[in-house]
Structures are given as C-alpha cells and as structure tokens.
Structure 1
Amino acid sequence: MSSAFLRVARLPGGLALSRIGLETMRLTGPMAWGRPENWDTAIDVLRTAVEVGVTNIATRHEYGPRVANDLIRIALHPYPESLVISTTVGLARAPDRSWAPSLDTDSILRTIYENLALLTVSTLDLVHLCVAGGVPVASPFRVLAGLQQERLIAHLGLCCADPGQIRDAREIAPVVSVRIPCSAAVVGSETQVFCAAEGIVHQLCHPFARREANQSEVIRELAAQRGIPAGRLWLAWLLHQHPSALLVVGTSSVAHLRENAAAVETGLEQDLVERLADIEQALVRR
C-alpha cells in the first residue's frame, strides 16, 4: 500500500495527514493507564503504521501517563519528515484513572513542555485543545497561540468543540484541525458540517465506539460475503460517507492495523452503500 494513496489532507507548510490515522491510547495499559501488556508489540504497531503509509499519529501525554509518548519516541525517533504527531491538551488524569478538565495556564504549559521533552522535538506538529462541555475556549487557546508564536507548536486545533467555540478560537489563531468523537450520533453533526464548509480538517476519532455498528450481525454477514473483516467494512463505509473527514483509529494489533489501513482501498457497490446507510440511520434513531 503506498503512502501517497493514504494521504488526503494537507496542513499549511505541506504536511500531509493520512486518511486513516493511528490513535495511540490502546497501545498503553487498560483504560490508557500504565504500560502495555506487550511492549514489543506496541512498538511493532507504530513502526508498521509508518510502513503502510500512516502519517497521522495521535497521542496524549496522559496516555499512560507518558507511556504513549515513550513508545512513539522509542519506535520512530528520528521521525520521518512526512509524519505528523498530534497531541491533545486540556484534560488531566487522577490517581483513580478518571479524566477531568485541566485548562489553567500552568497545566497547559506543563503538558506542552512534557510533550516536547518526551517526544524529543523542538516543535510539536499539531496540538488540539479539548473543550468538551462547552467550556470557554479563549483563555486556554491564547496560551497555545503564544506558544505557537514561540515556535514550540506548528499548528493548532480543537477537540470536542462546537461551531461557536471554533469561531471564538479562530479570532485568536488559525484552527487547522478539529477532532470529533465518532459515533452514529455525531457523524454528520453540526461541527462536522461546519468544518467541511470552512475547509477545516476534521478527524473522526474512535470510529468503533458504537460496537453494535461494526459488530452487528448484518455487518458481519455483509463483510463475510466480501471476504473481509467487519471492522474494515465499517471503516470503508465511514470513509465513503464522509469524504472530507479523516478517521483516527486505535488498535494494539499489527494485523488489525493493516486491516484498518486497507479500508481506504475497499470499494463499495451501490447496493451495499444503501444497506449500510440503512444500518447507520437505524443507529442514529436509537
């Protein structure tokens, strides 16, 4: 599979994001806490991702914490020029492994500097600010914009943002990417429509969050008829339905990674498209 085939979106400066990206959360321990059960396999997943043409790897300092960034550095440093490593800030982990907003200036600065150190880079390619729950975006985004001015960050984005938050952020600095949790309830959401209209790269994350979608009996039967895994068919469907979106998929398996990447080469006949559309609409109505 050629890396050129996987590329679809370009950021200012010519960086290309592959249509299928790798989310590193599942490379760590359960609940994104601690080391993976098999460290060497996690390293192999990252190296295989680059081998098959993935140029979009998403991480967080809080995965582990620190474990995902350690894995990326050990597996891939020095990084290929084509690779974009994106990170997300604005959430912190508690000892009970829960997540909580962390948008104060000190927390953001600390997380950025820790990302720089662990990844062993002088500039972070792309940093998303998580603003779930409609929190005010201006103050923390100004902190990131200041770091961008210092050339510690190349590009800025948002995560879990609504159109109003995106507009507020764009008054401060360009927003080149928005991460959108991917489920049947949010695909085609107001945020995705807004990003598509404004030419903002939008990344649909965790596309297997609705397990009843890709594991349903109908999906399995349709995939079996084509001789492909059900998950690959579901990803191919999402790519078909949302041609301006990227998918960021987590896995801890080299085999699954290859299956996911192969979704970009999976064509869908019209009758199959119609059947899959019926399945998605049924999920949305639930």
Structure 2
Amino acid sequence: MTTWQLGDVAVGRLGFGAMRIKAGPDRPAALAVLRRAVELGVNHIDTAAFCGSANELIREALAPYPADLVIVTKVGPGTDPERGFYNATTAAELREQVETNRRQLGVDRLDVVNLRITGDGSLAERFGWLVALRDEGLIRQLGVSNVRLEHVREALAIAPVVCVQNSYALDRRGDEDEVIRFCAEQGIAYVPFGSIADAASSAAVDAVAAARDATPQQIRLAWTLHRSPNILAIPGTGSVRHLEENVAAGKLELSATDLASLS
C-alpha cells in the first residue's frame, strides 16, 4: 500500500473510518473488524467521541496501540445528556471534548485532532483554542474538517495543519479539487469522507467494475485514491468481508481509459 505523510507519520493511503462500528449486539463484529484492519496493515483510523461507541471499541480492540497506528479524532460537534447534539462555541467546551476523546481512547495525548466546523464563519478563535491544548501536550497534531479553502489558509496562518477532511466522492466533487491541489502543494493530507457511502448507481462505475472483476465500491475508492497522491481514504464498515474488499481497493490500478470513462 502506498503512503502519504500524515504530519510526521507516514500512513497507508487506505485507512479506516470508525463511524459505522457499534457496540451492543454488533460489538463482536466491530472488534473483529478493527483487529482485522490492523492485521491488513491499516495504520490510520478516523473516529470521534460523537460517533457513539467507536472510541471505546477502538480501545478495547487495539490497546495497547501499535507504535505506527495514528488515530485521528474530531471535535466541534459534541453530545450532552441535557442538550443533545451541539457545536462547541467556547474554549471550555472544546477542552471537554478533547478530554472525552482522550479518556475514551485511553491515551495521554491525541495523535491528531480535527476541528470540524459548521457554517461560513471564521475558525480562527476555535482553532487557536486547540493550538493552546496542543501546546499543553494534550494533542500532537491538528487538522480541520468540513472547511473551504479560505478556512485552510486561515488555520495555516495560526499553526501547522496536517490534514483536511471534507466530503468528496466521484459524483460529489463541488470545489474540492482546488482544495486537494492546495493541500498537495502544502504537503497536507486530504481525507475525504463519504467516498462510497450512499453512492448512487452508475453505469460507468458498473462497467469498469465488471471489466476489473471488482465491486463498484472498490472502483469508487480506487478512483478517489487516483485523484491525488495526498488523498487518504477512510471507508467505514461493520463487516470484515467489506473491510477486506476496501483494503484491496488500495492496490487496484485504474487505466487512463478507466479514469476517462469515470470522469
């Protein structure tokens, strides 16, 4: 599997998104998926405290963590017994979210924390609060999520940004190619979410999949990785079989003809 630098660590370009794993009756399957992912060489896991039980499952399945494993979490959105789902607007709220992620994952310092924002306003104040927590030693590296290019530039003016995590897929590109190019120039990892989730049926994708003896999801993942060498995909699943298919997509080579037909 090819790699890209996620800050100061080289990670495989096919990672794992933990949003779909759940506790309860699904706990054994979730633990099996996480352990199998590491066995297959995945060393980049994306999670968040607001993703239900994902953090606790990661800790149960993988702690003590492999030395090369990078766990990326997100803050900004949060859950509260009284308020329900909310977006952090104070330094104290962001600190509590960071502490919750640390506690759930069982670590003294979080590898990477993405500030996920909503709306078009400035992220400078909130990003600055995370920089202060990084300086305290609670966070090693920082990223941003759900942002536009101007937000990335704004964050970079405050502190290094190691990853940008935005929605991006074959049939949902928006203005993201410009963000991807900028990130590549800056050495920043671009981490798309939703590359295969809820994808509509596509005759072009189905045709390439049939010719390659692959699934449509594998073709979509391969296309995503072919877009730029700084892209790190994080497909999520609760199935070991689908996990293995996703990881295999990281080695799938698409021809120029394939890519032209998909575009």
Length-normalised TM-score, structure 1: 0.85
Residue 204 of structure 2 is matched in structure 1 by 218
Residue 174 to residue 83, structure 1, CA distance change in 2 (3 Å): same
User: Unmatched 5+ residue regions in structure 1?
Assistant: 29-34, 278-286
**Cα deviation code 1:165-204 (max 9, x no counterpart):** 2222222221111111113233743322321222211111
Residue 168 to residue 218, structure 1, CA distance change in 2 (3 Å): closer
Residue 53 of structure 1 is matched in structure 2 by 41
1:11 and 2:7 aligned: yes
Higher relative contact order (CA 8 A, sep 6+): 2
CA contact (8 A) 1:16 1:55 kept: no
Measure how far apart 1:6 and its partner are: 4.3
CA distance in 1, matches of 2:151, 2:174: 17
1:266 and 2:229 aligned: no
Residue 170 to residue 272, structure 1, CA distance change in 2 (3 Å): closer
Query: What residue identity is the alignment partner of 2:14?
Result: I
Output aligned runs, 1:123-272, within 5 Å.
123-183=109-169, 184-186=172-174, 188-209=176-197, 211-212=199-200, 215-272=201-258
Measure how far apart 1:89 and its partner are: 0.2
How many residues in Structure 1 have an aligned counterpart in Structure 2?
261
**Cα deviation code 1:222-279 (max 9, x no counterpart):** 31232211111111111112222111111111111111111121112222222112xx
CA distance in 1, matches of 2:24, 2:199: 22
Output aligned runs, 1:36-51, within 5 Å.
37-51=25-39
CA distance in 2, matches of 1:10, 1:158: 13
Query: What residue identity is the alignment partner of 2:107?
Result: V
Residue 102 of structure 2 is matched in structure 1 by 116
SS in 2 for 1:232: helix
Length-normalised TM-score, structure 2: 0.92
Residue 64 of structure 2 is matched in structure 1 by 78
CA contact (8 A) 1:36 1:42 kept: no
SS in 2 for 1:140: helix
CA distance in 2, matches of 1:11, 1:185: 25
Residue 21 of structure 2 is matched in structure 1 by 27
